[in-house]
Structure 1
């Protein structure tokens, strides 16, 4: 058994630490911060935000997008697009229904995932839209793909998600994913 002389052990440890630090700096400078897009880097946005209860409600045409100020600009842009999409697609741009679309955000992760506890059109929001504006809603998971936030149709449901779909999208265990349906249709704990 050979031993490294005591005088050489410390410089080797320092060298190893220096290599790790420099490697980390090179990765950061090279722009591969675990998929964080350029516009979201270096901001004061927390890595994870979980709102109490069902989450923070953002109604279309209500000026409430500021409630998501601690999330990324790309995420807020997707929420705004989804609200407008529901207004134009499901409500035929009916002015009386302008404030019926809702996106209720329960959890946001800077790593590229957000759990939307409810997304749909309702009459109990600001402006009291008429009953014809209500069509109900569903839970969603928004994901960031290649630096762009998206709301895939397959990640929307009115009951627990499929474990296979969650894994296919690399969704971490988070709000709304505690249990999922396995291949046999059994409700089981989600294990990413």
Structure 2
């Protein structure tokens, strides 16, 4: 029965239904009238620019371009040091090889008796290396180049002296152990 009443209602109003679409901007005009009646100020919406994608593309291009320039221009610290003082490259190569050989010797002597002294030496070497990197940075930043180059060479010599002293101490430890072992056998 209820179904019949609803169908009857629709049949009575057939052809009277508003099926037209409102004109473009109708909703905005309606909201504006409503806001005006309630005393609310509304700000007009900004128009969307059809070139928004061009702005984004240009921004990305600018960012990538600047990034490329900075990455390309910023040579490594080693390259910059060589530019300032070409002689340092040969000196650094020589000292680095000597230090690498001494470190290999030190690591080959690593045993339970010498582990602590070897570990302490490696820590001291890393501190000296960090100090050397700081000297390189100072040289690049325009410090007194003769003084800094002298400090860099002293840093290398200090590392080599440290390694030689530790290797000598390890030899003494081995000799003491050997002599104790010989004395125990007799």
TM-score over 0.5 for the pair: no
Structure with higher RCO (Cα < 8 A, 6+ apart): 2
Higher normalized strand content (fraction of residues): 1
Name the TM-score, length of structure 2 as normaliser: 0.27
Higher normalized helix content (fraction of residues): 2
Name the TM-score, length of structure 1 as normaliser: 0.27
Q: Which has the higher Rg, Structure 1 or Structure 2?
A: 2
